[in-house]
């Protein structure tokens, strides 16, 4: 099955509306902020079974804005930015050759749990390469996910080597395939979204740290909300199209808000004093490296843009900093306080 066929098949399935999802505000916020600024570095969602992790991530598809791509290019190459171009498109661009441009929705690619490295990274036809002298490359899921979202359900059950490959590509924005002395690279800049159940095992700390944000979600406890969720799901299952229609207005409004936030993001400023305090929090919490500082700065700016503002407030930082730092804290088996609460307590201490 080709990548285009896979994408069309996913898009044709009725998707539960994002704005109809009750609760789980942290997860929804983390996903929206990553769409506004993909350089935040993706999000890891950990929670109990049946808490709507997969439903929420897949519901994001409806909200994704459109992008310009080079027509019929398997890598979704950008028509004017060399950083997001395949080698072939870049050569045409540098030689001043005309590029046919098309508009398509940002895509979300599902990575199956049993996927092989060849399916993910792509394959090189060695025989064709040797006999014809042509680099015969069959693109994989990373190519289809370029400039889009790659979703990995049960990421904690994936082979560690495959997780390494995904995280390396997400961090560098490129995927390199090497076979029998032949090497091919292509752009693979995507938002990596992973979900999993903590009962089935945690990711290694060094892998967890590579996700920009981390949302922990639990089962809804309030009986009224549980009834509302059950009724909504029943209504959607009985008539998906009718159910989706009732949320068209709110979906369009949220989609427009995201598009406007992406445009506004470049104008958002973060006060120097706030930046110092963010770094002070990271230092006080003994966070390794500087990734926590960088992600918190980016996420706070994205939230300000989402709210239609060009200046970050302390409240913006307070909302996003647990999502950015909770998974970077060193694990203490004797600790009784939740890592997110620990981050917020330190925020109050530093910002007081």
Nearest Cα to Cα of residue 142 among 94, 95, 174, 181: 174
The answer to whether 45 touches 27, Cβ cutoff 8 Å, is yes
Strand spans (E) along 128-173: 137-139, 149-153
Of the candidates 147, 210, 291, 328, the residue annotated as catalytic is: 291
Counting Cα atoms < 13 Å in the Cβ hemisphere of 324 gives: 31
291 given a catalytic annotation? yes
The answer to whether 220 touches 22, Cβ cutoff 8 Å, is yes
Q: Determine the Cα–Cα distance for residues 138 and 2; give it in Å rounded to an integer.
A: 10
Instruction: Enumerate residues 6+ apart whose C-beta is below 8 A from 267.
Output: 310
Residue 331 has what DSSP assignment?
Answer: P
Q: Kindly report the CA angle at 35 between 108 and 103, in degrees rounded to 5? A: 60
Nearest Cα to Cα of residue 244 among 16, 13, 47, 28: 16
Point out the residues that are catalytic. 291
């Amino acid at each position: 099955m080709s990548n285009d066929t896979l994408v069309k098949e996913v898009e044709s399935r009725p998707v539960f509306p994002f704005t109809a999802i009750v609760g789980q505000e942290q997860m929804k916020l983390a996903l929206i902020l990553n769409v506004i600024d993909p350089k935040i570095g993706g999000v890891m969602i950990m929670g109990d079974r049946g808490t709507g992790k997969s439903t929420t991530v897949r519901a994001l598809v409806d909200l994704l804005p459109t992008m310009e791509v080079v027509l019929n290019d398997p890598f979704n190459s950008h028509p004017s930015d060399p950083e997001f171009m395949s080698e072939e498109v870049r050569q045409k661009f540098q030689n001043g050759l005309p590029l046919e441009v098309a508009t398509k929705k940002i895509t979300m690619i599902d990575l199956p749990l049993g996927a092989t490295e060849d399916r993910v990274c792509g394959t090189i036809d060695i025989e064709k390469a040797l006999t014809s002298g042509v680099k015969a490359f069959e693109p994989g899921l990373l190519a289809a996910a370029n400039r889009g979202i790659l979703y990995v359900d049960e990421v904690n059950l994936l082979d560690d080597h495959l997780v390494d490959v995904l995280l390396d590509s997400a961090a560098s924005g490129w995927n390199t395939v090497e076979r029998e002395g032949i090497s091919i690279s292509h752009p693979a800049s995507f938002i990596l979204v992973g979900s999993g159940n903590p009962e089935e095992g945690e990711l290694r700390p060094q892998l967890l740290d590579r996700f920009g944000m981390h949302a922990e979600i639990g089962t809804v406890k309030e009986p009224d909300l549980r009834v509302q969720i059950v009724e909504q799901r029943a209504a959607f299952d009985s008539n998906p199209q009718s159910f989706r229609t009732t949320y068209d207005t709110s979906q369009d409004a949220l989609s427009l808000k995201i598009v406007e936030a992406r445009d506004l993001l470049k104008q958002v400023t973060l006060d120097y004093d706030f930046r110092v305090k963010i770094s002070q929090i990271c230092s006080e919490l003994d966070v390794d490296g500087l990734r926590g500082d960088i992600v918190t700065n980016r996420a706070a700016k994205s939230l300000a843009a989402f709210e239609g503002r060009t200046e970050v407030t302390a409240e913006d930082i307070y909302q996003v900093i647990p999502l950015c730092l909770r998974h970077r804290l060193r694990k203490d088996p004797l600790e009784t306080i939740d890592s997110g609460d620990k981050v917020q307590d330190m925020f109050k201490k530093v910002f007081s």
